[in-house]
Amino acid sequence: MTITTILALVVLVAVVVMRFSQTAPDPTALPALPDQITLPEGVTAEAVTFGKDWIAVISGDEILIHDSTTGALLKRIQVR
């Protein structure tokens, strides 16, 4: 039992040390976002999700997919 407790403590300390020693991501590696995204008439954004080359805007029962560089609307997906 003592050995198990000591091993668990060593693992816990190792995980904490590894987690805090990670460096922050390079801000220049983040994708460039458009200055603005124009939503269609009557659409209100409830949530926004960012992908590698797209931005999804969730509005009620609809998902709007926009280009991440230009902000242009690429696709509208109806959700049941």
Question: Given strand 47-50, what is the order of strands in its sheet?
Answer: 47-50, 54-59, 62-67, 73-78
* Among 32, 72, 24, residue whose Cα is nearest residue 52: 32
Task: Give the model confidence (pLDDT) of 46-56 as tens digits.
Answer: 999 988 889 99
- Could you tell me which of 33, 36, 35 has the C-alpha nearest to residue 52? 33
pLDDT tens-digit series, residues 12-64: 999 999 888 877 777 666 666 788 888 888 889 999 998 888 999 999 899 99
Three-state SS at 28: helix
